[in-house]
């Protein structure tokens, strides 16, 4: 992807989903912060790692078949140092992996358009 984007800057990538396979999801899983809090499903990265291959194959099949839907995000208020609060979302770990995989693909394409001085 990165090489294609570098060779042909005018190229328009219309679909990327076919590039996300089990190996790519595994790399995305490794690049996703393992210490983050579990989402609304209560599954932590450590629990997901216990059956990683099985979970990745299941996730990949759901993504390919279109059965995967973005799950609800748990909303939590955090206290700030100034006494205020801020709202954060805690997506499930599986959703974080998919987000990371998509970000990895988009970064490979977009990095080619950046100048070295950027």
Q: Which residues 6+ apart lie within 8 Å of 59 measured at CB?
A: 25, 68, 94, 97, 98
Cα 46 from Cα 48, distance rounded (Å): 5
Cα 31 from Cα 13, distance rounded (Å): 24
- Residue 77 has phi, psi (to 5 degrees) of -90, 130
Domain map (residue ranges) of the chain: 2-113
Q: What is the pLDDT of residue 116?
A: 65
Model confidence pTM above 0.85: no
Q: What is the pLDDT of residue 115?
A: 62
Count other Cβ atoms within 10 Å, centred on residue 41: 16
Q: pLDDT 10s per residue in the chain (118 long)?
A: 777 777 777 777 777 788 899 999 999 999 998 888 788 887 878 887 888 899 999 999 999 998 988 888 989 999 999 999 999 999 998 999 999 999 998 888 777 666 666 5
DSSP code of residue 4: H
CB 108 within 8 A of CB 4: no
Q: What is the pLDDT of residue 7?
A: 79
CB 40 within 8 A of CB 74: yes
Catalogue the E-assigned strands of the chain.
Answer: 74-79, 85-90
């Amino acid at each position: 992807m990165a090489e294609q984007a570098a060779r042909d800057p005018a190229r328009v990538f219309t679909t990327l989903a076919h590039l996300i396979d089990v190996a790519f999801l595994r790399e995305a899983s490794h690049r996703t912060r393992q210490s983050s809090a579990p989402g609304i499903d209560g599954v932590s990265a450590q629990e997901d790692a216990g059956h990683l291959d099985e979970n990745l194959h299941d996730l990949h099949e759901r993504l390919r078949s279109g059965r995967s839907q973005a799950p609800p995000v748990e909303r939590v208020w955090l206290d700030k140092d100034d006494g205020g609060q801020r709202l954060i979302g805690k997506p499930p770990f599986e959703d974080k992996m998919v987000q990371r995989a998509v970000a990895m693909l988009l970064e490979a394409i977009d990095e080619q358009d950046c100048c070295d001085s950027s």
